[in-house]
Structure 1
C-alpha cells in the first residue's frame, strides 16, 4: 500500500531501492537469528524504524475497499497501530545519541507525515525541527558535503532535502511558523531523478516530475509571502501582476486545462499526482490574490488600511481572478476525494489536508461574493444596478456545492465537521442575501460543472461591475465605505491579514483539541 498509494506524494524513497534493501535487511536478520547473534547495529535500527514508519502511514489508510483487512490481521488495526508507535518510540530513545544518517532523516520525515495526517500540529512541528537538525548535521543542504557519493546517493540526498524544504514551507503557509530552513543557506541542486525516466525528450518525465514543481511552488511562495517585512508587496496590484506571470509551463500530463491523460496508462499514479499538484498550484495562486478579496474595503471598514491603491480596474480584476481560481480549486479537491477512495474509507489526506484546503477555498470564494454584494449595494444607492453575469452565477453554484461536499465529509470526519462550523455563518449570510434565485440558475441547473466533468465558463468577459465601480469611485474622489448590511464572519479580519492559510489557526478555538 505504501509504495502504491502513499509514496506517490513524496517519494522520499525509491521503490526499487527500498524493496532491494528490505529483502537484504530480512536476510541479515535471519542469519543473525540462526547464529544466535543478538547485536543490532545502528544501521539495522534505522532501517527498522523506517519500516515501522512506512507501516504506520499505510495503517492510516485502513480499512480500505481496495485493501480488505478482514481475516488478514489477528488483532484490531488500532491495536497494531498503537504497538508500532510504542515500538518506534522505544527504539528512537536508544538511538537518540548516535550520529544521524540519511535513513534517520527518511524515517523522521515519514513520522512528520504520520503526525500531520492526524493533525497533531505541535508534535509534527517538533519532529520536523528535529529532522531538519539531523539533515543539517549530515550536510544534506550541501551540494558537496565533503565525502564521496555515488550518483544514486546524490539523488536520494536531493530528494530528502527538498522534501523537507517543501514541508517546512507548508508549515509556514499553514500555521504561520518561521521557516526552519533559511533561504540562501543551502546550495544543493534540485532532484534530477534519472532513475526511472518515462520520457527523455523534449523533457524528462518521471514519477518524480510533479514533485519538482511542488519544490518550485514552495520556493515561489517563500519569495513572495514569507518575510513579514514584505507585507506591503502583497497589496500592490502591479507587484501581484508581476509575480503571477512567474508560474512555469507544466508538462502536458500536468496541464491545468485539458491535460494529456494518455500518460495515465504509463504511470497509474499520474491522476492523483496531477490533482494534488493542481490543488497546490492553484492554492499558491490564490494566496497571491488574497488581499484583493475586498478591493473596495466594503467589508472590513479598516480606517487604517495599509492598502496603497485606489480602486482601479487591476485591483478589481484580481478579485475576479481569485474567484476564478477558487472555482477551480473546489472541484479539484472533490476529484481528489474520489481518486483517494474516500467514500470507501479513504486516504490519510482526508484527515487534515483535504478538508482544510476546502475550507480555505470556500472562505476565499465566499468573502469575494460578500464583497461583490456589498459593492453592488453601494452602486445601487447611487442609482446603478448591475445584473449578475454567468461567471457570478457559476461562482455561487460552486460555493454552495462545495459547502455541501464539506457537510457530507463532516458527517464522517471531525475536522471537516469543524470546518462546517467555521463556514456556516458565511454560508447562511450568502444564502440569505441572494437577491434572486436566478443567481443559481446556471445552464446545468446549479451543479458544479467541473465536478460533473464539463469545463467551467470563461471568466474573460462580464466586467460591468468592475467598470461601474471604477467610475463610481472616481466620481466620489475617495474610497466609498458604507456599512455592510449583513453580519460578517468573526474570522474575517484574520483572513484579510494573512496571505497563507494560517488565519485558520490563529484562533485555536476554531479547531479546538482536534489540533493537538
Structure 2
C-alpha cells in the first residue's frame, strides 16, 4: 500500500527488485534467530534496516485519521512508530564502522535522513546526511564510471541514489545556509534515465520518477543563484534576475510534461498512477517556492522599509524592480494555494499529517512573510503617494493578495495549537499581521469582502496594468528619486535579516526563533 498509494520513498528503491528481495529476506528470518543475535550477513542486516526505515517513513506519512487501525493492529500507530525507530537505531549500533557500505546502506540511511527532516530534527538530519554522503562517496556513486562492472539497472539505481542525496543536500544549503556536502564540479555521474517503469508512451513518456527529475533540475539551476553567500549580490540586480527567471522558465517550466504542467495539467493519467496528483501538487509547490526565491530581494523596491529598518538598499527604483515585487506576490500566493491543496489531499485542511509538521508549515511561514512584506511595502508606498497628492486604483491582483495573506494566516493559526513549528511561525508573523490589519493607509485594500470577490476574476499583473506602479514611477521617474515625507510603519524585528539574506536561510538566522524545535 505504501509504495503504491503514499509513495514518500522518492523512488530511491525499485519496487520489483525490492519486493523480490523482501520475500527472500522474510524466508531467511524464519530460519534464523534474528538480526540482533548476529546470525545473518551484513547485507541482510542492511536490508532489515531498509525495511524498518521504509516502514517508519510510511507510518510517519500516513494521515492517521484516515487509516484507522482498530482491530487490525494491537498497538497504536504512534507506539508502532516509536518501536520501529528504537529497533532500527539498536540494529544500526551493531554494525561495524569499518565495513564497506553498499547501495542498500545508502538507501536506508537516506530514508533516515528524510524521516529526521520531516520531524524538524535538523541537526540530527544534517549529521545523518553527512554520514550518508560519506558512504556514497566511498562507493563512488558520484562517478559516471565507478570502475566496476554494473548492469544497467544497478547503474540506474546508483544514479537515483546520488541525485536524491544531491537534492536534499541543496535543500539543507538553501534553507539553513549549510555548506554543500556535495560540491559542484566534483561529480560527473549522469542524471537518472527515468525509464524503469513507464506509465505512458504517447504523447510523451511519464514514469514514477519523472517528478524527481525536475526536483534535480530545480536544485541544480538555483544552486548558483540562491545558496552561496558570496553570490547574493546577483539577487539585487533586476535585469539579471529577469534573465535568470527566463532561463529557469526555459530549462524547467517549459520542459514539464503535460501531466505536470503548472497551468491546466493533463489529468487523464491520474487514475493510472495513484500518487500522480500529490506528486504534481508537491512538485508545483517546489517550483513556485524556487521561483519566489529569485524575486525575494525586491519585496521593498521603493526602499521605504529599508529606511525604517536601517538597512541599505542595493538597487535603484525602476519599473522592473516594481514588477518583480508584483511577481513575488503572485508566486507567494501560488505557494500558499499549493500548500492548502496538499493539506486537503492529505485529508486534513489544517495540516494534520506528521510529515507536514515541518516542511509545509515552514514554507507557509516563508510565503506569508514574503507576501506580508510586499503588502507592507505597498502600504508605505500608498502613504507616500497620498502625501504627494497622488491617488491610485487598487487592482484585483492586489486585493487577492490581501485576501490570501489573511486566509493563510488563519490556516497557520488553526495549526498552531497542535504543532510547534506553526506556533513559532505564528509568533514571528503576528506583528506583521497586526500592522497590515490595522493600517489606515488605504482602506479600500483592506475590505476583505471585496478581496475574495476579486479572486474570481483575477488577472496577472502583466495583463492587468500597473496602477500603483505607474503612480510610483510618475513621482520617482526612471532615475529613482525619493518621495517626500516618509511615514513611520511598525516593522517586524526580523526585517533586517530578511533584507540582508533574501535566501530562505534568513528565517533561521535568529537561532532562538524556533528554539529546540529544530534541534
For residues 103-148 of structure 1, the C-alpha deviation after alignment (integer angstroms, 9 at most, x for no partner) is: 1111011001111111111001100111111000000011110001
The correspondence of residues 98-177 of structure 1 with structure 2, limited to 5 A, is 98-177=99-178
Deviation sequence 1:197-239 (CA, Å, 0-9, x none): 1223453211111110010000011021222221111100110
CA contact (8 A) 2:211 2:280 kept: yes
* Equivalent of residue 507 in structure 1, options 498, 502, 510: 510
Matched with 1:287 is 293
CA pair 135-514 structure 1, distance change in 2 beyond 3 A: same
Whole-angstrom CA distance in 1 between matches of 2:478 and 2:59: 63
CA–CA distance in structure 1, aligned partners of residues 496 and 350 of structure 2: 38
TM-score for both structures, normalised by structure 2? 0.92
Residue in structure 2 matched with residue 232 of structure 1 by the alignment: 233
Q: Which moved more, 1:288-297 or 1:336-345?
A: 336-345
Determine the structure 2 residue equivalent to 1:3.
3
In the alignment, is the contact (CA less than 8 A) between 1:166 and 1:215 conserved in 2?
yes
Distance 1:381 1:444 in 2: 25
- Deviation at residue 369 of structure 1 after TM alignment: 0.4
In 1: Cα distance, 2:158 partner to 2:457 partner: 41
1:446 is paired with a residue whose SS is helix
The 3-state SS of whatever aligns with 1:198 is strand
* Distance in 2 between residues matched to 1:344 and 1:62, nearest whole Å: 15
Distance change in 2, residues 1:348/1:475 (3 Å): closer
1:427 aligns with 2:433: yes
Given the superposition, is the C-alpha separation of residues 372 and 515 from structure 1 closer, same or farther in structure 2, using an over 3 Å criterion? same
CA contact (8 A) 1:390 1:442 kept: no
SS in structure 2 at match of 1:262: coil
TM-superposition CA deviations, 1:299-333 (whole Å, max 9, x none): 021666251x3211111100010011111111110
Q: 363-372 vs 385-394, which deviates more?
A: 385-394
CA distance in 2, matches of 1:464, 1:427: 24
Instruction: Give the alignment of 1:47-62 within 5 angstroms.
Output: 47-61=47-61
Q: Secondary structure at the match of 1:264?
A: coil
* Closer, same or farther: CA 281–243 of 1 in aligned 2, 3 Å: same
2: CA distance between counterparts of 1:465 and 1:343?
34
Q: 1:28–1:175: structure 2 CA closer, same or farther, 3 Å change rule?
A: same
Q: What secondary structure sits across from 2:490 in the alignment?
A: coil
| Contact 2:402-2:451 within 8 A present in 1 as well | no
Distance 2:458 2:355 in 1: 26
Q: Is residue 369 from structure 1 mapped to residue 375 from structure 2 by the alignment?
A: yes
State whether structure 2 residue 312 is matched by structure 1 residue 305.
Answer: yes
* In 1: Cα distance, 2:15 partner to 2:81 partner: 23
State the partner residue of 1:394: 400
- Verify the 8 A CA contact 1:287 1:500 in the aligned structure 2: yes
Q: For 1:401 and 1:185, how far apart are their aligned partners in 2?
A: 45
Q: Counterparts of 1:12 and 1:483 in 2: how far apart (Å)?
A: 55
- Deviation string 1:333-388 (CA, Å, 9 cap, x unpaired) is 00000111235984333110111100101110000000011111112211112221
Q: CA deviation at 1:40?
A: 1.2
Give the aligned CA root-mean-square deviation in angstroms: 2.3
Query: Quick check: 1:339 aligned with 2:345?
Result: yes
The alpha carbon displacement at 1:5 in A equals 4.6
Q: Distance in 2 between matches of 1:13 and 1:434?
A: 56
Displacement after TM superposition at 1:86 (Å):
2.3
| Correspondence 1:404 to 2:410 | yes
Alignment partner of 1:498 out of 496, 501, 509:
501
Residue 107 to residue 475, structure 1, CA distance change in 2 (3 Å): closer
- Give the deviation of 1:269 after TM superposition: 1.0
> Alpha carbons of 1:477 and 1:64: their partners in 2 closer, same or farther (altered >3 Å)?
closer
- The answer to whether the 8 A contact 2:224-2:231 is kept is no
Which secondary structure does the structure 2 equivalent of 1:388 belong to? coil
| Corresponding residue for residue 27 of structure 2 | 27
Asked if the contact 2:4/2:274 (under 8 Å) is kept, the reply is: no
> Are the equivalent residues in 2 in contact too, given 1:401–1:447 (CA < 8 A)?
no
Measure, in 2, the Cα distance between the counterparts of 1:500 and 1:2.
Answer: 34
Whether the 8 Å CA contact 2:384–2:486 is kept in 1: the answer is: no
Name the structure 1 match of 2:77.
77
1:382 aligns with 2:388: yes
Instruction: For 1:266 and 1:444, locate their aligned partners in 2 and report how far apart those are by CA, in whole Å.
Output: 41
- Is contact 1:397-1:448 (8 Å) kept? no
Q: CA deviation at 1:458?
A: 2.7
- Cα deviation for residue 17 of structure 1 reads 1.9
Q: 8 Å contact 1:299–1:484 — kept in the other structure?
A: no
CA–CA separation in structure 1 for the residues paired with 2:107 and 2:123? 20
Q: How many angstroms apart in 1 are the aligned matches of 2:501 and 2:435?
A: 22
Show the counterpart of 1:184: 185
Query: Which whole-Å CA distance do the structure 2 matches of 1:145 and 1:403 have between them?
Result: 50
Determine the C-alpha separation between the residues in 2 that align with 1:344 and 1:74: 28
Establish whether residue 469 from structure 1 lines up as the match of residue 451 from structure 2: no
User: Which residue in 2 is equivalent to 1:316?
Assistant: 322
Distance 1:445 1:230, change over 3 A: closer
